[in-house]
Amino acid sequence: MGIKVLIADDEPNIVVSLEFMLKREGYEVIVARDGNEALEAIRRERPNLVLLDGMMPGLSGFGVCEAVRADLSLGGTRILMLTAKGREADVARGVGAGADAYVIKPFSTRDLMQQVRDMLA
């Protein structure tokens, strides 16, 4: 059983790059296009890590994060928030919602991969 990673982002091109990156590392990748789909996938697939976009149509990434943290059965899910909003208020919001790490777009693929590896180690 490999390590499952969920990518939740509404930007298809970003999904493409993340998916390529993660698959190259050997992780099993699942994709969700919006917040509700992401939450559904987390409950169904129980991924070890979620790369969560902050701004998505429907339920936002912050909403997904809060919902996951509110659900005790999902306690082991690690969450890495990705957001295009770099202001400190957004970082604080993401941390407040219960994210384990916070990465600002655009990101360095190497740094991001290092972060992912660390979180899954």
For other proteins, the binding residues (CB under 8 A) are: 11, 13-14, 16-18, 20-21, 24, 55, 57-60, 63, 84-87, 105-110
Cα–Cα distance list, 108 to 17, 50, 78, 104, 105 (Å): 12, 18, 20, 9, 9
d(CA 65, CA 6): 13
Give the residue with the Cβ less far from other proteins, 40 or 46: 40
d(CA 83, CA 112): 13
Q: Please, what is the minimum distance in Å from the beta carbon of residue 20 to other proteins?
A: 6
Give the residue with the Cβ less far from other proteins, 55 or 91: 55
Sign of CA dihedral 47, 57, 88, 70: negative
Q: Please, what is the minimum distance in Å from the beta carbon of residue 72 to other proteins?
A: 25
Give the residue with the Cβ less far from other proteins, 13 or 73: 13
Q: Please, what is the minimum distance in Å from the beta carbon of residue 11 to other proteins?
A: 6
